[in-house]
Amino acid sequence: MQLKLKSLLCSLGLATTALLASHHVQAEGRLTIYCTVQNALCEDVAKRFSEKYDVQTSFTQMSTGTILGKLKAEKSNPQADVWYGGTIEPHFQAAELGLLEAYRPKNQASILPQFQKLMASDKGNYTSATYMLVLGLGINTEKLKALGLEMPKKWEDLLNPKLAGEVQIPDPRSSGTTYTIMATLISLWGEEKTFDYLKKLDANISQYPKSNLVTSNLVRGEVAESIGFTHAYITEKEKGNPIEYVIPEGKVGYALGGTSIVKNARNLDNAKLFADFVLTKEIQELPWREHHLYQLPSVVGAEVSPLMPNAEKLDFVEYDFDKFGSSEEGKYLINKWVEDVKLGDKLAK
Ligand code: PLP
């Protein structure tokens, strides 16, 4: 009898907690997400969160650099609660600028061991590694064949004069991808050689569009090659497009995707729930299970697709996250790219 009463009280207790929690969530039942994963995934994750927690959820999909700019502009009047996805360095820069709210998600300790040191640092107070992307070259094999060229093997192969007007990379003012390209090459070669390379590459670049347009232009055969994250090329190949990817010789570049909560978020409790949610096994596996999207999960125990590159076999670059995650360095490198690469020759002419 006593036992029965105890278990009844216990379940009543639990029910009260659950009710309070749901009452609390419903009291502020909204969540606004700035989202830098693919649009279909933003939509599905927002919908699943909304259904699970009874929260009215909305999202806006934008590139990493664009969101960093928006967070800066909205500092005194934040419009979003949480930032889901996008390369992690601009998240670190946002934290340094006081634009993020400290929160360590429940499952943060399950993030892959190789990123635990980073997560244990101050950076992990604000941002959690939510997925991983491998950097590579995207090739339109039909276009390459028509140009009579072989598959590239190394970064320097993109400088072949026969590729004049046949290469695109995204504009780093909006795109985190190109910031990763710069951070990778600087880590491999140093700053001087990297900018020398990017200036030479400029001779082969037809334009620097937004990151999603670079991939669609490659697929349409507007150009033969691009630099980007390999998961996007896998998706295009799977659709039957003549697209392959190459991981250039030497150490391999990569990006972590981040998730952070916006400082003074209006819906802070929901933002915390969301930061927990994106590290669950369900959401970690959702991209490849439901959407043919191949970012690598960041959490131990989340299964991978056989179509993804095998991260265990790759020899990754070691980034100095303090350097590339500093807002000073971010501004410096992007300004340098604009002045030396984008405008450089044109100003001199
Ligand atoms: N995260 C994911 C899942 C992506 O697919 C991409 C781009 O391909 C990025 C982040 C980086 O996007 P952006 O270069 O537009 O900032």
* Whether residue 213 sits in one domain with residue 67: no
Averaged pLDDT for residues 95-122: 97
> Does 16 have pLDDT greater than 50?
no
Ligand 1: does its nearest atom lie under 6 Å from the Cβ of 229? yes
CA–CA dist 155, 187 (Å, integer): 14
Range of the domain at 89: 30-132+256-308
At which residue do the structure tokens 């990017």 appear? 198
- pLDDT digits over 110-169, tens only? 999 999 999 999 999 999 999 999 999 999 999 999 999 999 999 999 999 999 999 999
Query: What SS3 state is found at 207?
Result: strand
pLDDT, tens digit (0-9, with 9 covering 90-100), for 208-235: 999 999 999 999 999 999 999 999 999 9
pLDDT tens per residue across span 33-56 = 999 999 999 999 999 999 999 999
Taking CA atoms only, the protein residue closest to ligand 1 atom 15 is 63
Q: Are residues 115 and 227 in the same domain?
A: no
Share of the chain above pLDDT 70, in %: 91
Do 43 and 113 lie in one domain? The reply is: yes
Q: Looking at the structure, tell me whether residues 138 and 287 fall in a common domain.
A: no
Of all protein residues, the one whose alpha carbon is nearest to atom 10 of ligand 1 is 86
Q: Does the beta carbon of 234 sit less than 6 angstroms from any atom of ligand 1?
A: no
The pLDDT value given to residue 25:
42
Q: Give the chain's radius of gyration (CA, Å).
A: 22
Q: Which atom of ligand 1 is nearest to the CA of 41?
A: 3
Scored b (16 or more CB within 10 A) or e, 306-342 reads eebbebeeeeebebebeebbbbebbeebbebbeebbb
Pull the structure tokens for residue 312.
Answer: 């265990």
- Listed in sequence order, the DSSP H helices in 28-109 are 39-53, 64-73, 88-96
Report the greatest alpha carbon distance in the chain. Answer: 92
Across the range 60-68, mean pLDDT stands at 98
- Give the residue carrying structure tokens 């001779």: 203
Mind listing the pLDDT tens digit for each residue in 178-191?
999 999 999 999 99
Q: Is the pLDDT confidence value at 12 over 60?
A: no
Residue 28 has a pLDDT of 53
Domains in the chain: how many in total?
A: 2
Residues 229, 245 within the same domain: yes
User: Ligand 1 centre and the CA of 40: distance in Å?
Assistant: 13
* Ligand 1 atom with minimal separation from the 215 CA: 8
Task: Note if the pTM is more than 0.75.
Answer: yes
Q: Are residues 123 and 266 in the same domain?
A: yes
User: Do 160 and 124 share a structural domain?
Assistant: no
Which residues have C-beta within 8 Å of that of residue 23, sequence separation ≥ 6? none
* Cβ contacts of 280 within 8 Å, gap of 6 or more: 107
Residue 75 lies in a domain: yes
CA–CA dist 326, 191 (Å, integer): 16
Question: CA–CA separation, 339 vs 164, rounded Å?
Answer: 21
Ligand 1 center to 13 CA (angstroms): 44
Task: Judge whether 278 lies within some domain.
Answer: yes
Cβ contact 316:248 at 8 Å: no
Helix (H, G, I), strand (E, B) or coil at 272: helix
Q: Tell me: pLDDT of 328 over 80.
A: yes
Query: 63 CB under 6 A from ligand 1?
Result: yes
**In the chain, where do the E strands start and end?**
30-35, 56-61, 82-87, 100-101, 127-140, 167-168, 205-207, 225-229, 243-246, 254-262, 296-297
As a whole number of angstroms, the distance between CA 74 and CA 238 comes to 39
- Ligand 1 nearest atom to the CA of residue 85, by list position: 1
Identify whether residues 270 and 282 lie together within a single domain. yes
Give the strand pairing for 254-262 and 82-87.
antiparallel
What is the Cα 91 distance to its own chain's centre? 10
Phi, psi of 144 (to 5 degrees): -65, -40
What would the mean pLDDT of 247-259 be, rounded to a whole number? Answer: 98
If asked whether residues 168 and 209 sit together in one domain, one would say: yes
Higher pLDDT, 81 or 348: 81
DSSP code of residue 340: I
Residue 231 covered by a domain = yes
Task: Give the pLDDT of residue 347.
Answer: 56
Q: How far is the CA of 287 from the centre of ligand 1 (A)?
A: 13
Residue 287 lies in a domain: yes
Read out DSSP for 122-179?
GGGGTEEEEEEEEEEEEEEHHHHHHTT-PPP-SGGGGG-GGGTT-EE---TTT-HHHH
Task: For residue 226, count other CB atoms closer than 10 A to its CB.
Answer: 29
User: Measured from the CA of 87, which atom of ligand 1 is nearest?
Assistant: 10
Our answer on whether the CB atom of 211 is closer than 6 Å to any ligand 1 atom is yes
* Whether residue 249 is found in the same domain as residue 274: no
Residue 22 lies in a domain: no
pLDDT at residue 4 greater than cutoff 60: no
Confidence (pLDDT) at 344: 85
In the reported structure, the alpha carbon of residue 255 is separated from the centroid of ligand 1 by a whole-number distance in angstroms of 9
The pLDDT value recorded for residue 8 is: 32
Check whether residue 147 and residue 247 sit in a common domain.
yes
| 337 CA distance to ligand 1 middle (Å) | 19
Distance 175 CA to ligand 1 centre (A): 7
Residue 17: the pLDDT is: 27
Q: What is the pLDDT of residues 305-323, one digit of tens each?
A: 999 999 999 999 999 999 9
Q: What CATH number did the domain enclosing 194 receive?
A: 3.40.190.10
Q: Give the integer Cα–Cα distance in Å for 183 and 162.
A: 27
Nearest atom of ligand 1 to the alpha carbon of 170: 14
Question: For residue 328, what are its two tokens?
Answer: 């000073």
Cβ of residue 259 lying under 6 Å from some atom of ligand 1: no
Query: Are the CB atoms for 348 and 342 separated by under 8 Å?
Result: no
Is residue 143 a part of any domain in this protein? Answer: yes
* Whether residue 309 has its Cβ less than 6 Å from ligand 1: no
Nearest atom in ligand 1 to 228's CA: 8
Share the mean pLDDT of the chain.
92
Asked if residue 11 is part of any domain, the answer here is no
The answer to whether 155 and 197 are in contact (CB under 8 A) is yes
Q: Could you tell me the distance, in angstroms and rounded to a whole number, from the CA of residue 73 to the centre of ligand 1?
A: 21
Domain assignment present for residue 21? The answer is: no
Whether 126 and 144 share a structural domain: no
